[in-house]
Structure 1
């Protein structure tokens, strides 16, 4: 329990303490305390007096603080009043109308220019006014100029929708051709500041400038229209004439003053009905219907004929303001030219048709001649290969028997000449097959090493004889190609390089280019001039336009080009005079991990002989048969020669002898060929070692031989291959 109530003011507590002190002092003076009670009360009175003094000092300090706070508050109120006064004066000096709404959209303050142009609502613009009420007042003001299709409510709704944005600027139209620009922005505390700027002078200046520009553009458009070669007339959205050029009067044959501004399109069209005639099924009603559409007109093109001999092209198109423009173009000359061209085209078509028939007959005749040529070349080559093969065999036999060096030299030259003739005939056959499209290709995985290594061994001595350095860089790649034709391609390129290179080297290598292997043959020869780099691939063409001679007939590159084209192997040439040349062939790389090994050339079996072999030779070409018999018998074998298949079967039955080897010509006559004879002999005597001999190098014959496990010896027969075959029989 305390004597003081802390909730009472300090003055009241101080008065109470004084009264308590005085009462205690009086009580001390009136009574005596025999046991020392008076003294204790005195001490208590003294303690209370000390507390009263402490409280008095606290009260004094509090009063001082209160007085200081009151002074500061008064100063702050004065400053706030001054700031408010300064703010009011500041916004009053702003040339635009200014208003500030608080976060609850109530007007806080505004200057005298705010809504000054709305004289009928000025008295109602006062602090506390809500934003919605402010918008309603403006929308209902008679000084607001609303568009014809807008009401005060719709304007107010659109105005309030803008209020949702943090910032908005728009123009407001007033009566008497006045304009306000309203800018509305949000404050950091959520309030809204509105500025109203009078832009009447700016809008009027822009309008004047726009009118000047429009007038200037109108004059430019008028001048442009008058200089056009087309007649042009322009109609507004109501279909009334608003402009035309002089060319329209000329094209339509109208007097200069006949069209009248504002005249409807229908009236003008009626006035032209006796001057123009529509074509292509179009009518004046169709054009009127098109013009009557208010919008969505598609461009329209038609032609009319104006009497007596003018043809006009009309093009009508809608404009953005829903009006339309119609142009007239005189196309009389074009149509006359088109008619003349049409007649000329018909004449040319008849001539082309006649010439096409003539060319068709000529083409058929050329195809027949080409087919006859191909058949002739094939037949002639076959007939030539028969005696050529016999001649080679006779020469080979003679070489085995000759002992004198001079005789052997002559025989060697004869063999070389015969080999050259064989190569020429073989080249002609290949070109004939490639040209006729009858060349048979067997595309299969082919190791490049099986192509390059034999050619290096074969052509190395030829290059060395000329003092050339032949470098063949082996490759482990396997490609997709016909191995026979690919070998011939590379062989021809290498042979040509060696033939035309007098000194230096010939280098053959392979580059991997993406999915292709590019086989390149480089030489240090004289190079090929640019003018001859295309002609070198033609038949019987050689460098420097040399004639055929010891260097070759000029068929090698022709075969290379045709073979590469048929196989789909791109062939390219780089050459520089005095530096050298490079022929390259791009061949697809085989993607499989393994590839079949290539065939190796025949090799003579050392220490083997043909002694004691009985060889049945069935050949209807007597010179070849004599030459072959003479050569085989010179190796120690016995030859039984028969001209046809029936005779061969009769001979075997008569002598009751089974031969060791069969050499069967394929073309033995109409009754029985070499394959049929082989089958008949195998049926009677079992399978015997055999070879089919023929000048026919077709794929069909190779397939027939392969089906029976036979090897084909093409004429002219290679002496070493035949000897190797016979030696293998004796060894076996």
Structure 2
């Protein structure tokens, strides 16, 4: 009877057992043959026959059992082969049913099997994917496929080497572009036995949908930038490196009286400027030619050129070169300013002529001269008042100017955390860098306007020079390390009289310029005593400053070394800020420089004795704050910024409650089960201020809830109003890192 083995018993032991039984059978038969002795007499033969009969009977029984065992072993082996074949067929069917590309490699990196979707992704190498092919060979087939799209600077050999390296890792995944704008995600993972499983998933639809969504979001950012340009009083136009029009504002069209058919995206500069030269600047061919020559080869920024229009008005034209090779051209109407200057010159010439012609009539001449001087003083006062009024307007309009930028930075920060691919991250980084440059320039211009309008007041107190210098050295050390520069700060125990915040801004700008324009060597920051004064000095080993340019560099939008390729581009406003703050603080500034060896910028402040130290009890170390358990009321009348703030807070796990006014915030407070942990309020609301809203919520809650006021107004008056009620101050445009650092600080305190 044949006994079937269990289905789970492996075939290899059965085959080994069969071989052992056959070996035993052969041994028994040989023993029987060797034990038979036909020599001797009849009796011995009879005895031998009897013994032989018994042995044959026993061996026959053993042989029968052996044959039965062999039959059973063969049956089990056949069953094992059938089960293995069935399992293999089931596995093959299951793999073929998978919609993703699947391939299995053994521990020797040889292909065991793969399904049809795996082979169909690259049809030109489908027939080469045979079992037993080593993976390096398959990687070579992939790299040579005409359906594989490689990066511009990546060779097939480099792709093959990188793919083999990823294959040999325990787990790896990457995204690969194919022809006809197809995309796949490739991942591989090693099993416990050393085999490797590779999956190839078609993600074309996902990539295309995500690309469309990103393009829509970038289009929204472009609209915000356009709105910002339209708020500027100057006419602005931006050209790409090929002199094709990229962006412009309405003021640009109005000042040049351009027909709308000419001002279209990608319109050529030659066509626009040719029309302007023939229709607007008919009588100023030299100025038109000068601007045309610069725009065709803009190696450096264009200083202001004044062009006369056909209607008698005067436009000031200036240009800047952008890092990507594009240019920005601005137009400003300076007609009234030039007319006022001409009137002053004419009055002066008339006055001198009258003095020479009417010497004899001294008394009457003095009276007339005094009358003219009074008129000149009035005209000067009027001009100064107009300038101050313009400056005050610019400072007051800072909120409206920075609101769109604030919304853009918030949504750009949210965009960065949505899982962008490498190409989208690259574009988002470019947009972020562009917004950072706009933010820096606008912020600096607003700072200049505040200093010119006299709205900044200095708070002169005794301060430690060492604290400012060591802090700035630590901040700039990473940038110096990146440029392989030695940044040293000399220790000093001197104390001086100044405004800590304003003095820090001066030294910060000086150190920033030193690190920016120094390509080798180092930067030294220190302070020394000079009589009753302290000289704070910043030394560098940069290119040096010519003697005739040492006053030039303190003017707005003035920069040196723009023809050096590796020199970073700045706005040219840092030293202009330094000069204004130094005048406000009455701190003299000096510049020493040797061409090719370096420069030294120094600022002097009065020396004083160290202030009395007040002993404070050491506060307990603050524990990290988990924002996920906190609730915040956000009050903002700009719905776009309110949406962005809500997304930022909720992304960090906080519960955010929106409100657009004080009344809505108070109504929301009544519906809450518990008082909020934090208040974030914009300072400029439609009715009242952010500090009014915070005070009202605190009164309604019955205790001082931690609060932050957000504003673009940087005047000392507004900052003092915010901080006097124990409210934290946050400057617009908001940076995500600064926002959450301040939130943690306020909540912890």
Name the TM-score, length of structure 1 as normaliser. Answer: 0.50
TM-score norm. by structure 2 comes to 0.49
